[in-house]
Amino acid sequence: MEAKKISEGLSVSPQIVADDITEIAKLGFRSIICNRPDGEGADQPTFDEIAKAAKKAGLQARYIPIVAGKVSDGDADDFGQALDELPKPVFAYCRTGTRSATLWSLSQAKRLDASEILRATKDAGYDMGGVVRRIVNGGKTPTDNGDARFDVVIVGGGAAGISVASSLQARRSGLEIAVIDPADIHYYQPGWTMVGGGVFDASTTAQTMGSLIPKGVHWIKAAVAAFEPKDDAIVLDGCRVVKYDRLIVCPGLKLDWHGVEGLVDTLGRNGVTSNYRYDLAPYTWELVSSMREGEAVFTQPPMPIKCAGAPQKALYLSGDHWYRKGVLDNINIGFYNAGGVLFGVKDYVPALEKYIDRYHADLNFFHNLVEIDGVAKKAWFDVVKPGEETKRIEKSFDMIHVCPPQVAPDFIRVSPLADAAGWVDVDQATLRHKTFANIWSLGDVMNAPNAKTAAAARKQAPVVAENVVADIDGKSPVAQYDGYGSCPLTVERGRIVLAEFGYGGALRPSFPKWLIDGTHPSRLAWLLKEKILPPIYWKAMLRGKEWMAKPEKVSVK
């Protein structure tokens, strides 16, 4: 007997025998549902045997037999009704537990999001991919097989998605391409650090999605509920089905604000802010520009995160403002990093450490923010140093800039596209999926070991476009990605340490050293960040103009 928890009210199990009932009762279960028809296997007890043992142990029992592979809509309704009526928690079983898990999934489809159902069953060891359309359709069998079909479908209309759509059009103008994204607004997220530093106005970092989708590309304004890669299909919320010949997955990542207890309740007030959200970045500047004394805390969660340098960029620009205003000596700056280094590429660390010293910032490594009380102005960190026991510390603040934990979107993590950690599983050079040959991924959602930055997506888009077109022509991949990423570290207003690197931390500068030496603060790099990169983003990258982004050819051995 093996109970696999699906929810607080239900666990499922493979076939049990009457002797298991005593143990089931001891585990706290109050009811049993049998989903296996009598006589299906020569070695199974009848339901009457199970029911008698259950009654003796004080448990209720119900018989909802299901023929393997034939779970009807009515069966799911019966199971849901039983869950509502029986004392909880309930123990359900069949031959392997799959029918019971399927019945639960379909019965809860109108009550829970599809991603919650898929995550719960996946965590218990059951794959609901075969009934995902029914889950999305409220537990009912869909009546259609496909509402639309395209040569290429792109999931995500962010920097990666629009760039790769434009790059594909530039190479093969006749393709029928669709971009799936429910958002009305597209954001230039690299600009939010500058908003939080009082350099940019937030409105300059936003444009309507409709104005950016390339002409001739179909925009499906909907959310993805699930993938069915074996059928070349995507299921949308509302159970519409989109079919594709080739799929590109780039929906970005999920900012897990709920990953820090109490954070959601206090964001945007009580001195709690974050440059990782459009509406909060102006509050960062409001706090910084008005602060004259006190405790300023800046946090960084465990990797991976979007733009690993962003948490300390907020520190530097804040410290520089206080330095210029002559109040720095009255402000204690603390940087609390869940990792063990200031920056992952060692060549840039010496320049950054000089600014840490300049702003008298206290570095705290292996400190992960786990809870916050905005009203009390207190934060708690778990200190997890190698070889030591975890301990929790408390820190008071007057302002705190929080970088939230970050994970793959729910609909990605529970999909067949994901690796064990939840990210889309690709070959790090060609960006092609390791299992499904007609699927590619780029941007923050895939699992290549590169920095998750817009600059990385700028280099990845041409690689994916080249390889998709090659695949259409029946060829092997022709372009490869070298792991390039860029992080313009705004160490003070007017100077930037321009970190550019690839796989393994190899330096990959875009400019000759005599022009910009990325390992040292540079005024020219600041000009690039402030004046040049925003128009390049809007007018070049998103329009398929691949300036300084020519794909590297696959080497022939």
- Catalytic center residues: 307, 487
Rg (CA), the chain: 27
3-state secondary structure of 18: helix
Contact 522, 483 (CB under 8 A): no
3-state helix/strand/coil string of 454-523: HHHHHHHHHHHHHHHHHHHCCCCCCEECCCCEEEEEEEECCEEEEEEECHHHCECCCCCCCCCCCCCCEH
Q: Which amino acid is residue 304, in one-letter code?
A: P
CA atoms within 13 A on the CB side of 154: 32
3-state helix/strand/coil string of 311-340: HHHHHHHHHHHHHHHCCHHHEEEEEEECCC
Q: Which amino acid is residue 115, in one-letter code?
A: S
Residues 293, 294, 300: CA angle, nearest 5 degrees: 125
Cα 392 vs. chain centroid, distance in angstroms? 27
Q: Which amino acid is residue 379, in one-letter code?
A: A
Q: Is the dihedral of CA 130, 133, 134, 139 positive or negative?
A: positive
CA distance linking residue 395 with residue 388, whole number of Å: 20
3-state helix, strand, coil in the chain (%, to 5): 35, 25, 40
3-state secondary structure of 39: coil
Tokens 């070049």 appear where? 540
Cβ neighbours, 10 Å, residue 84: 10
Cβ neighbours, 10 Å, residue 339: 17
Cα distances (Å, whole numbers) of residue 416 to 234, 260, 324, 421: 12, 28, 52, 12
Cβ neighbours, 10 Å, residue 320: 22
Q: Which of 461, 523, 311, 482 is nearest to 400 (CA)?
A: 311
Q: Which of 222, 3, 235, 35 is nearest to 128 (CA)?
A: 235
Contact 344, 502 (CB under 8 A): no
Strand locations in 76-220, DSSP E?
A: 90-93, 148-155, 177-180, 185-187, 206-208, 218-220
**Exposed / middle / buried, residue 510 (Cβ in 10 Å: 0-12, 13-18, 19+):** middle
DSSP 436: -
Full DSSP string of 351-411: HHHHHHHHTT-EEEETEEEEEEETTTTEEEEEE--TTS--EEEEEE-SEEE----EE--HH
